[in-house]
């Protein structure tokens, strides 16, 4: 009886260390002398077409490599709360759902290199606050939106090499030193590693900061490959970043004639907005909710890098009161300013209907509204 009990205890301990493993994967438990351990799972069956859903809960590292997986679905790993390393590499992935990485709070490393991803859900990075390594090497990315910048601030290893990128938003480059304005401490050893090579970069002022970055020395940013080459325009095709000379883009700024205006009911009002930037920015008037204005607009650019616009409001009514937005934009970024218009006056009230007075037999006077 005692031996049977011991056998059952040993079997239960073995089951804890060796839980069920997906059929197309291999699972390995790495035990430590202190009794703790971690589990890694490798799935590299070329016939695998879906992300496995029954991976052991204590998995720390999951590798899905050289399979036929084409899609990473929503909440594919939500139950793997201990996952720190996730590699989905050299598969056939074309689609990554925005909710794919839900609940991966301790994930440190995400590698998706060697796939066919054209669009990446950058907002999904907020589900991985501990992420420091993001590898998107050798995919089909054509652009990275400026909205991705806040989600990449904590990434210290970013590989976007061997894609189809022609430019990067200036605001994205601003998250890296020295443009970020954050100076590392004297004893800081942490470097930011960037993989930018093998992209068809179009060398105009939009990437002037990137080119400037490639020429800098003794900064906490390390390029995996210093040999970055312009693919266009024609006069710069084949020229190394270090030898390219470009005009620097200037992000637009905007100012208005007044932020608050009060005008009389029925009067005419002019709202003016001025913008500067390089290249010369555009200007657009809207209401605060984004709806277009149907009023007369006059615009002019008296010189390179300068533009002004006047919005004319004729015979204003109370409906014209509210906030007006002047938005300016060029390839380096955008800016906006608001003017609040208040309408002062008394609106004519609708006259009350006449009263009909009748007499009752008891001579009591009754007033009632005419219908």
Considering 243, 258, 287, which residue would you say is the last residue of a domain?
243
Enter the tokens of residue 121. 């859900």
In a domain, 1, yes or no: no
pLDDT at 347: 63
Give the Cα separation of 130 and 151 in Å (integer): 11
What burial letters (b/e) apply to 99-129, b meaning 16+ CB within 10 Å? Answer: bbbbbbeebebbbbbbbebeebbbebbebbe
The closest of 253, 246, 302, 252 to 279, measured between CA atoms, is 252
Give the Cα separation of 14 and 127 in Å (integer): 33
pLDDT at 355: 53
In a domain, 238, yes or no: yes
The distance in angstroms from the start CA to the end CA of the chain is: 101
User: For residue 232, what are the CA distances in angstroms to 137, 240, 279?
Assistant: 22, 11, 18
Query: Do 149 and 65 share a domain, yes or no?
Result: yes
pLDDT at 189: 66
Enter the DSSP assignment of 292. Answer: B
Query: Do 105 and 172 share a domain, yes or no?
Result: yes
Q: How many residues does the chain have?
A: 371
Q: Which residue has the tokens 């608001």?
A: 338
Query: Do 274 and 203 share a domain, yes or no?
Result: no
Query: Do 261 and 172 share a domain, yes or no?
Result: no
Give the Cα separation of 313 and 330 in Å (integer): 27
In a domain, 47, yes or no: yes
Q: Based on the structure, what is the number of domains in the chain?
A: 2
* Bridge partners (DSSP) listed for residue 43: 64
Query: Do 38 and 177 share a domain, yes or no?
Result: yes
* Positions of the chain with pLDDT lower than 50, given as ranges: 1-17, 186-187, 363-371
In a domain, 8, yes or no: no
Query: Do 215 and 266 share a domain, yes or no?
Result: no
Give the Cα separation of 121 and 84 in Å (integer): 20
pLDDT at 350: 54
pLDDT at 13: 42
Domain harbouring 290, CATH code: 2.60.40.10
Domain harbouring 78, CATH code: 3.80.10.10
The closest of 242, 234, 254 to 330, measured between CA atoms, is 254
Query: Do 279 and 232 share a domain, yes or no?
Result: no
Measured at the CA of 219, the angle between CA 218 and CA 224, to 5 degrees, comes to 100
In a domain, 370, yes or no: no
Query: Do 195 and 273 share a domain, yes or no?
Result: no
DSSP per residue, 127-171? G-TT--EEE--SS------GGGHHHHTT-SEEE--SS------HH
Give the Cα separation of 318 and 346 in Å (integer): 10
In a domain, 164, yes or no: yes
In a domain, 363, yes or no: no
Tell me which residue range forms the domain holding 261. 250-344
* Bridge partners (DSSP) listed for residue 306: 276, 303
In a domain, 131, yes or no: yes
Query: Do 225 and 289 share a domain, yes or no?
Result: no
Q: Tell me, rounded to whole angstroms, the distance of Cα 146 from its chain centroid.
A: 6
The closest of 332, 328, 294, 323 to 311, measured between CA atoms, is 294
Measured at the CA of 277, the angle between CA 272 and CA 283, to 5 degrees, comes to 40
Query: Do 224 and 274 share a domain, yes or no?
Result: no
User: For residue 30, what are the CA distances in angstroms to 33, 37, 61?
Assistant: 10, 5, 11
Query: Do 232 and 168 share a domain, yes or no?
Result: yes
Query: Do 221 and 329 share a domain, yes or no?
Result: no
């Amino acid at each position: 009886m005692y031996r049977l009990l011991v056998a059952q205890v040993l079997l239960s301990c073995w089951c804890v260390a060796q839980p069920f493993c997906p059929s197309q994967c291999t699972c390995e438990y790495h035990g430590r002398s202190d009794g703790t351990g971690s589990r890694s799972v490798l799935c590299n069956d070329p016939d695998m077409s879906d992300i496995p859903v029954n991976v052991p809960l204590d998995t720390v590292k999951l590798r899905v490599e050289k399979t036929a997986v084409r899609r990473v679905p929503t909440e594919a790993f939500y139950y793997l709360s201990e996952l720190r390393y996730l590699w989905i590499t050299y598969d056939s992935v074309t689609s990554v759902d925005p909710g794919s990485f839900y609940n991966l709070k301790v994930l440190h490393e995400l590698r998706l290199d060697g796939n066919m991803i054209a669009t990446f859900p950058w907002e999904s990075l907020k589900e991985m606050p501990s992420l420091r390594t993001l590898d998107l090497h050798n995919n089909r990315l054509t652009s990275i939106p400026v909205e991705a910048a806040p989600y990449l601030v904590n990434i210290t290893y970013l590989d976007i090499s061997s894609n189809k990128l022609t430019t990067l938003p200036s605001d994205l480059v601003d998250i890296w030193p020295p443009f970020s304005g954050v100076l590392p401490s004297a004893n800081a050893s942490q470097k930011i590693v960037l993989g930018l090579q093998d992209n068809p970069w179009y060398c105009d002022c939009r990437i002037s900061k990137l080119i400037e970055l490639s020429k800098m020395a003794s900064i906490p940013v390390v390029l995996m490959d210093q040999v970055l080459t312009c693919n266009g325009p024609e006069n710069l095709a084949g020229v190394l970043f270090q030898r390219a000379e470009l005009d620097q883009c200037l992000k637009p700024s905007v100012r208005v004639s007044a932020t608050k205006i009060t005008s009389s009911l029925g009067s005419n009002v002019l709202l003016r907005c001025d913008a500067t930037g390089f290249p010369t920015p555009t200007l657009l008037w809207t209401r605060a909710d984004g709806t277009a204005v149907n009023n007369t607009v006059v615009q002019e650019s008296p010189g390179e890098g300068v533009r002004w616009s006047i919005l004319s409001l004729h015979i204003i009514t109370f409906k014209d009161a509210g906030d007006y937005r002047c938005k300016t934009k060029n390839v380096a970024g955008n800016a906006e300013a608001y003017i609040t218009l208040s309408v002062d006056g008394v609106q004519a009230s609708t006259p009350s209907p006449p009263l009909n007075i009748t007499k009752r037999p008891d001579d009591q006077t009754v007033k009632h509204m005419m219908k």
